[in-house]
Amino acid sequence: MTDRQWSYSTSSGHLGGTDLTGWRVEASDGHIGKVDKHSDEAGDAYVVVDTGVWIFGKEVLIPASSVVRVDLVEQTLYLGLSKEQVKDSPEFHSEKHLVDQQYREEISSYYRTAGPFSGGAGAI
């Protein structure tokens, strides 16, 4: 896990302390859900996205580095990930995410290969 992966980019427009709960979430190719939970903790910032019926109610944990733009007026987060990348991401498990290092490494590894750090379509 890298600190950069679990931190918002300075160019994203994110303002620390902003309550993102309920905000709309857009993948690079369209709407995917809303923010259910989030953290601004330094080096451990993330959003949990409730994808609703789009992926049969799956919640996913997305590192803050995947947020490429925060629209404060429209209350929308824009990700540097496609719908497919979000759909294929590990499911969020609230009981594991803070205490199970292997689970966190699985999430980190997925986003290192599928997300903005892969050098692929989601690269920032």
> Could you tell me the residue range of the domain that residue 37 belongs to?
24-114
Q: What is the pLDDT of residues 24-60, one digit of tens each?
A: 999 999 999 999 999 998 888 999 999 987 666 789 9
Q: What is the mean pLDDT of the chain?
A: 86
Nearest to 73 by CA among 24, 9, 8: 24
CATH number of the domain residue 31 falls in: 2.30.30
pLDDT at 94: 85
pLDDT at 122: 40
First-to-last C-alpha distance (Å) of the chain: 18
Q: Backbone phi, then psi, for 79, in 5-degree steps?
A: -100, 150
- Is residue 90 assigned to a domain? yes
Helix extents (H) in 1-124: 83-87, 101-114
Question: How far is Cα 115 from Cα 103, in angstroms, rounded to an integer?
Answer: 17
- Is residue 3 assigned to a domain? no
β-bridge mates for residue 76, sequence order: 24, 71
Overall number of domains in the chain: 1
- How is residue 62 written in tokens? 């997305």
